[in-house]
Amino acid sequence: MGKLTTHILDTAHGCPANGVRLRLFRLGTGGAATLLLATKTNTDGRVDAPLLAEKDFKPGTYRIEFEAGKYFRRMGVELPKFPFLDLITIQFGISDGDSHYHVPLLVSPYGYSTYRGS
């Protein structure tokens, strides 16, 4: 069976992003979002267990929300009152229920990138 994982790298400081809060949602028909998990990253910028695995890992549309603004403020970065990147949302689809889907986030206060990793 497949699984969903993530990790976050802080490209501004050149290190894993520790303690970033994130939430995983499954989107239903009509766009209704169901919260599946709320957690935070460890010292390696990863979550201690897969976000989804085994019977919970199903094809569909998902969204991960990363609290980047709170993380950078905690790291001592001076951000404006309304930070450019505060809550980063990545919406993606899972088509193959037997594959590993990895959604990494490379982030700085003013930019981010993601891709389907392995």
In a domain, 115, yes or no: no
Residue-level pLDDT at 26: 97
Tokens coding 16: 């894993």
What is the number of structural domains in the chain? 1
In a domain, 102, yes or no: yes
In a domain, 118, yes or no: no
Its domain, for residue 83, covers 3-110
pLDDT of the chain, 118 residues: tens digit per residue: 899 999 999 999 999 999 999 999 999 988 899 999 999 999 999 999 999 999 999 999 999 999 999 999 999 999 999 999 999 999 999 999 999 999 999 999 999 999 999 8
In a domain, 13, yes or no: yes
CATH code of residue 79: 2.60.40.180
In a domain, 116, yes or no: no
Residue-level pLDDT at 1: 80
In a domain, 55, yes or no: yes
In a domain, 117, yes or no: no
**Beta-sheet pairing, 3-10 with 100-108:** parallel
Determine the Cα–Cα distance for residues 66 and 5; give it in Å rounded to an integer. Answer: 14
Residue-level pLDDT at 29: 86
Residue-level pLDDT at 118: 82
First to last CA, the chain: 15
